[in-house]
């Protein structure tokens, strides 16, 4: 058994850097006997069309390419992600046929909304995907046409409750609004949605004045002249939207840093050999230059710490712990 584990680890290690053909051959060698017995389901917990859905569908395409196995994407939505998170943690069979394509939003659900029914340790990370910074966009028509982020905030301060902003309850979409209100005295009218994509659609339809989301979710509307970028919650301006300021630049702070970290998980208890093969399949896909280029089109970036991680659960856990401290600081968590 010990020798088998050592051989297994050696094959995994050999996947770190090798030509595509050799990598796929190593994947075939690593593949467990009689697995998978059915298509692998990539569970996305947010609606179709959003950034998470795009990420999951692209990943599925390239995992199929490198593994030779069929992958289907299933959107299990509801409760702003809570329905899908709960399914993965408590109901999905830990047999390797279900993989969750998640974001760090799951941390908030586990810490604040699960109420002890499940915990983060019930989901085991097997692959890092990409990172995306939260962006605010406004309409190019309507009462706030031509406004920048400072003018939008001032309008929400001058006439409290009149500027409608799309939010996803219990997430960074809500937290950044709270931060801005606390720092500036502005007061927004919050309109809840299941995900960023739905809020951006509402913005284009004139049902909100500001939407929050990621480049992949509003790029088409930006190209069509329907939306205008306002600010990004990152440490630096984005390469593909250099004229858009960061929130910290525009509002004079340092606390407006909100990003989505996307990664793949399996339910706790998934057999080690299946978990390892699934993780290796995802890493093979993530080293494909075509997939990297596809993701880059959507304005994502790749966190070096997570790309080069030798212990992904530990490194993701450090980010989760930082988020836990935010919840404790704001009184959400004791």
- HEC letters along the chain: CHHHHHHHHHHHHHCCCCCHHHHHHHHHHHCCCCCCCCCEEEEECCCCCCHHHHHHHHHHHHHHHHHCCCEEEEECCCHHHHHHHHHHHHCCCCCCCEEEEEECHHHHHHHHHCCCCCCHHHEEEEEEEEEEECEEEEECCCCCCCCCHHHHHHHHHHCCCCCEEEECCCCHHHHHHHHHHHHHCCCCEEEECCCHHHHHHHHHCCCCCEEEECHHHHHHHHHCCCEEEEEECCCCCECCECCCCEHHHHHCCCCCCCEEEEEEEEECCCCHHHHHHHHHHHHHHHCCHHHHHHHHHCCCECCHHHHCCCCHHHHHHHHHHHHHHHHHHCCCCC
pLDDT exceeds cutoff 90 at 35? yes
What digits encode the pLDDT tens for the residues 284-296? Answer: 999 899 999 999 8
Q: Taking Cα atoms as reference points, which of 323, 301, 277, 250 lies closest to residue 30?
A: 277
Per-residue pLDDT, averaged over 52-75, amounts to 96
The most distant pair of C-alpha atoms in the chain lies apart, rounded to whole Å, by: 70
- What pLDDT does 19 receive? 67
pLDDT exceeds cutoff 50 at 99? yes
Whole-prediction pTM: 0.76
Question: 12 falls in which pLDDT band (50, 70, 90)?
Answer: very low
pLDDT exceeds cutoff 60 at 16? no
Question: 240 falls in which pLDDT band (50, 70, 90)?
Answer: confident
- What pLDDT does 3 receive? 43
Q: Which segments of the chain belong to CATH 3.40.190.150?
A: 17-131+260-329
Supply the mean pLDDT for the chain: 90
What CA–CA distance (Å, rounded) separates 294 from 331? Answer: 40
What CA–CA distance (Å, rounded) separates 300 from 239? Answer: 10
pLDDT exceeds cutoff 70 at 2? no
pLDDT exceeds cutoff 50 at 14? no
Pick the CATH number of 17-131+260-329 from 3.30.590.10, 1.25.10.10, 3.30.420.40, 3.40.190.150: 3.40.190.150
Per-residue pLDDT, averaged over 146-170, amounts to 96
CATH number belonging to domain 135-251: 3.40.190.10
pLDDT exceeds cutoff 60 at 1? no
What CA–CA distance (Å, rounded) separates 294 from 59? Answer: 10
Q: Which segments of the chain belong to CATH 3.40.190.10?
A: 135-251
Question: 217 falls in which pLDDT band (50, 70, 90)?
Answer: confident
Q: Residue 164 contacts by C-beta under 8 Å, 6 or more apart in sequence? A: 188, 189, 191, 207, 208, 209, 210
Per-residue pLDDT, averaged over 189-215, amounts to 94
């Amino acid at each position: 058994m010990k020798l088998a584990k050592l051989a297994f680890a050696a094959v995994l290690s050999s996947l770190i850097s090798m030509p595509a053909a050799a990598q796929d051959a190593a994947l075939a060698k690593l593949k467990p006997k009689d697995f998978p017995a059915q298509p692998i389901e990539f569970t996305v917990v947010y609606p179709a069309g959003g950034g998470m859905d795009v990420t999951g569908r692209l990943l599925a395409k390239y995992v199929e390419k490198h593994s030779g196995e069929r992958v289907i994407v299933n959107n299990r939505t509801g409760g702003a992600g809570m329905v899908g998170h709960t399914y993965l943690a408590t109901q999905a069979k830990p047999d390797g046929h279900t993989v969750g394509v998640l974001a760090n939003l799951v941390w908030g659900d586990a810490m604040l909304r699960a109420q002890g029914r499940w915990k983060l340790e019930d989901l085991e990370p097997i692959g890092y995907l990409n990172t995306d910074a939260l962006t605010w966009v406004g309409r190019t028509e309507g009462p706030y046409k031509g406004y920048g982020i400072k003018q939008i905030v001032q309008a929400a301060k001058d006439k409290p409750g009149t500027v409608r902003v799309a939010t996803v309850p219990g997430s960074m979409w809500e937290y950044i609004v709270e931060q801005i209100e606390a720092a500036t005295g502005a007061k927004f009218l919050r309109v809840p949605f299941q995900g960023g994509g739905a809020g951006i659609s509402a913005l284009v339809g004139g049902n909100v004045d500001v939407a929050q989301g990621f480049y992949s979710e509003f790029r088409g509307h930006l190209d069509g002249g329907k939306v205008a970028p306002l600010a990004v919650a990152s440490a630096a301006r984005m390469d593909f939207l250099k004229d858009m300021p960061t929130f910290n630049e525009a509002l004079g702070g340092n606390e407006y840093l909100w990003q989505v970290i996307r990664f793949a998980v399996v339910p706790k208890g998934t057999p080690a050999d299946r978990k390892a093969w699934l993780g290796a399949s995802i890493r093979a896909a993530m080293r494909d230059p075509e997939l990297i280029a596809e993701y880059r089109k959507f304005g994502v970036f790749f966190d070096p710490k997570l790309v080069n991680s030798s212990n992904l659960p530990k490194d993701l856990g450090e980010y989760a712990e930082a988020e836990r401290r935010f919840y404790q600081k704001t009184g959400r968590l004791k």
